[in-house]
Structure formats: C-alpha cells, structure tokens
A and B are shown apart, each in its own frame.
Chain A
Amino acid sequence: MSAAFDVERIRKDFPVLSRELPGGRSLVYLDSGNSSQKPAQVVETMREHLAMHYSNVGRAMHVLGAESTQAYEDARDKVAAFVGAPSRDEVVFTKNASEALNLVAYSFGQRFWRASGTTQPNEDPRFTMGPGDEIVISEMEHHSNIVPWQMLAQRTGATLKWFGVTDEGRLDLSGDVITERTKIVSIAHQSNVLGTVNPVAPVLKRAREVGALVMLDASQSVPHHPVDVAALGVDFVAFTGHKMLGPSGIGVLWARGELLEAMPPFLGGGEMIEAVWMDHSTYAPYPHKFEAGTPPIVEAIGLGAAVDYLQAAGMEAIEAHERALTAHALDALAEVPSLRLIGPSTLEERGGTVAFTLEGIHPHDVGQILDDEFGIAVRVGHHCARPLHLRFGIPATTRASFYLYNTTGEIDALVRGLHHVQKVFA
C-alpha cells in the first residue's frame, strides 16, 4: 500500500499546504477532524460548474437546468457508490451531518402526519415515541448526536439513556442500556475526540433483539475508512462533506428506503412535493421528499468531486497511511513528559484523532503557542463533546487529527512544539 500511496504527490493537490503564514511560518495542518482541506480538483470542479453550467436543479427546462440537474444527481450516484448504498435514492442531501441527525430525530413521535395518498394518521410502530419509550446514545457523542435526541425526548416524553465510556475511551457495553423499550440507538462510528472506532455489530445485534432502529454518526469514519452501509447493516448513517475534502454546506443522510418511505417530511417547500392544493399536499418520493427548496447544488457537485478524489487515492490506502501516522503519533507523544492521552493508547479499533492534556497548561495556551510560533493548527477546547470531557474530569483537551495529506514529519513538529510549550510554562 505504502508504495502506491505517495503523500508528497497528494500534498501537491492541496494548494493551502504550501502557503506561507504571517511571519514566514509554513503550515502544519493537524485539524482535519474539525474540517479538512480541499484539493484543487474539488475547487476547480465547483468553479467550472459555477462559471459554465450553473442553474437551478430539477425544474429548469433549458440546457443549463439539465446540466445542473445532471451534475447534482451524478453527485448522488457517486456518494451512493462510495458508501455502498443499495439504492442511489437512499442518499438524501442535507446541509451537514447535524441536519441529517435532526431529520431522523424529527421523524419520531409525529403521530398526525399523513403519507402521500393516505387519509389516516401515520402510526408506523417503528416511529412512534412517547412516555415509556427510550432513546439510547453514548457519553462520547458530539453535541450534534446528543441535542437532537434531547429535543426528541422533551417533545415526546420519552427517556434518554446512554452508554458510558471506559477509562481507556471505549464504549462501555456492560449493563442493560438497550431494553425492550428502546426505539432508536444512535452512536458515533468513530469518536471525534478519542479516535475510538465503536463496535457496531454487538450494538446492532442487541438493538435488533428488541426491535430498535440504529443510527450511526459517521462524520469521522466515512472520510477515513472504507465504509459500506449495507455491510454495516444499520438503518441510518449521517456524515458531512467538509470533513472529506468537500465543501461545507453539504451533508448526507443515508437510510434504508423503506424507512425513508415511512418517515414524514422534515422541511416543507419547493421540490419536496408531488402536488399542492390550498389545504393539503402530497409529497415527492424520497430522496426529494427530504430536499425542500433549492439545495446546495455546487456543494453537492463539489462533494462528488471529493468522492472521486478519495476513490482515486484509494480508501484502503488512506486508512493504512493514517494508521501509520497514528502509530507514529502514539509513540512520539508517549515521550512527552506529563502528557495524558485521552483515548485508546493502542492502534486497535482507533482512527487518526489524538486528544491529550499537558499537566498545568491549559489547552488554549497550547494551541496558541503551537499556532503562533510553529504554524501548527490543532483544535483546543471540548470539541463539541462537553459531556465526554466532564466524564474525564477535564474542561478541555488539545486534539491533533490526521488525514491523507499529513506526514510523520508534521507529527514530529507537533512534538517539538509541545516541548517548547512546556518550556514557556516551566
């Protein structure tokens, strides 16, 4: 794999990686878990579309409308193939992963919505939700996979429960968190702080035993590993474009078609309808049922280009490259005095996200000095996972996250920077 994966050639595709920061520093970008950089191929595809082919999609009866619609729907095909979706219609474009998670949470407990052509209130037992029903998440979730479920619990009177996290940053599957009352389980595929890759199979098995649906927040896994939604066997998967070399403003919900059929529309508006009367409407088939209004057209096309880029580089090669980077980082960081790793210390079931604290030094000071003096971009704070930080009794961490364009040299620069930070605060 390493012979086929030429990181220096990859880096040439990302113009920002060779820019100079104020003060003549070069950039060391270790914040891809926050948002990834974009290759020239994505930027150029979006520029070309905006310049030469742009129009609204799905409704314009002219050449540009046809070209835009074709490009937008081609992007859906690419994304569907990329994640192994059994049908391209099961890919719903949203504005980000948060919207995809909110869309699914919104589907529960809507007793009075009526599917197209029916006159009866929808009482699909999979999507009913009320007092006594349970929603299961975990303590390691990003806020986007916590708050929508809190809102669902508040709206319906259901109970929110969660898996704990072990000291080494693994999902704690002991105990009976999933019960006969559980309707939906939603967990991260890979933690955005710990790097932990969660075991889907045992969670899915237990959920199936009790008839619960399962959702994965795959925002941190789809960009970094080969992911096949059909092979995973779950019901819903959410991810976002900007973490996988695409632009911001475009996210994806994949869901099994029969579930999308049964779910109520999320937002109402143009393009999501079949026919509208003054007092009622019927809805378009999925995925358009969930894509009200003019969608992020150029962003979807940019995501399609990002998928092309990732596939050309090879997801298995990217995964192997990041695994080597993570091994290097875990070894190098272990040599930094008083550094406390928050997350698994071995490569087993973990991705290229490494969070840590330095004794007596606040992460904001760590991040500031790394940036100002070495041009090293990391993320500091609670990374939108405050409950996880509370679990470990710390207000914040410093997080380095790797991607296909990072090098072991950049990780060495990080380690040198951390030694300097410790000197400043000694």
Chain B
Amino acid sequence: MIGESMYQELILEHYKHPQGRGLREPYDAEVHHVNPTCGDEITLRVKLGDDGKIEDVSYDGQGCSISQAAASVLHELTTGSTVTETLSVVDEFTRLMQGRGQVEADEDVLGDAVAFAGVAKFPARVKCALLSWMAYKDAVVRSAS
C-alpha cells in the first residue's frame, strides 16, 4: 500500500540505528530548528575542517522516524565532503522533497537519501524530512560567516 513506499527499510534502519547522533565538540556553528506544527526539533552542529571540507555534523533531536532518519542520512552524506558538494546534495534533496512525487531523484547525487522519495507524496511529512537539512544549510552559512 501507499505507506510501504514511505517507510523504506533504509529509513527504518536509520531511525533504529542513527548514525553520528549526539552533540560533539568542537564546532563552528550550532542551530536549533523546530517544526511548530508537530513539535519535531533538532539541534545541529557543524565543524569545518581543512580544504573546505565538513569535518563533523553532530545533532540531537526528537521527532518522527522520517525526521530522525533524515538527520542520520544527512550526517553520512555530508561528513568528509566539501561544503560545496554538500550544498548541492541539499539542493537536490530539497528539489526531490518539494516535487510532490513527480521528480525523478538523482541517485548519484543523493545516495541513501533517495529512500525518502516516497515521502514527497505526503505534503504533511515533507517538512519532517527537510527539518535537519534546512538546519544544516543554516549552520553552514553561519559557520562560514
């Protein structure tokens, strides 16, 4: 049924075993984002390394499986990549999420994040998936300034 396409095994795996969860020192910027309609929240820290690379993305928060798994996937995809690379992943993920299920995902860019394609068909849940990614974008901007 419809639900099966949203709760992909990969999403459930990330929800049950989140990668990189917990807030770590040191960091260049910390942000706190909330979704006022459902109460989901995330605190996210970014540490920049040499060569324009992301050294660490650490986070803590509470919310549904979609929002928590999205943060876990975000951690995996961003850590060790350059800021520029990660921002293009964020853009592609945002395009996918806001595409109402009509957008073909670019698996080369998104990696595991393509598992969220099914969420785009549920307007009420798109903001759950985007919560940590928007927080990340915000944190990167702040850490660079």
Contact = CB atoms under 8 A, between A and B. Distances in A.
Interface of A: 22-23, 25, 361-365, 368-369, 371-373, 380-382, 386, 389, 395-396, 424-425
Contacts of B39: 381-382, 386, 389, 395-396
A391 to B, nearest CB: 14
Contacts of A363: 64
B2 A364 contact: no
Given A362-B63, A362-B65, A368 B1 contact: no
Interface string B3-40: 11011000010011000000000000000000001111
Contacts of B64: 362-365, 368
A386 B39 CA distance: 9
3 A-B pairs with least C-beta separation: A372-B3, A364-B64, A362-B64
B128 interface: yes
A373 B1 CA distance: 6
B143 interface: no
B125 interface: yes
Contacts of A396: 38-39
A361 B16 CA distance: 10
Contacts of A361: 65
Interface string B46-61: 0000000000000000
A369 B38 contact: no
A381 B62 CA distance: 13
Contacts of A22: 2
A368 B3 contact: yes
Contacts of A371: 3
11 contacts: A22-B2, A25-B1, A362-B65, A368-B64, A368-B125, A372-B1, A372-B6, A373-B1, A373-B3, A381-B37, A424-B12
A372 B122 CA distance: 11
Nearest to A380: B38
Nearest to B1: A373
B2 A372 contact: yes
A381 B36 CA distance: 10
Nearest to A396: B39
Given A22-B2, A396-B38, A425-B12, A369 B7 contact: yes
A382 B38 CA distance: 7
A368 B6 contact: yes
The residue among A371, A372, A380, A424 with the most chain B CB atoms within 10 A of its own CB is A372
Contacts of B65: 361-362, 365, 425
A22 B2 CA distance: 9
Contacts of A424: 7, 12
Contacts of A362: 63-65
B62 to A, nearest CB: 6
B23 to A, nearest CB: 19
Given A23-B2, A372-B6, A395-B39, A364 B128 contact: yes
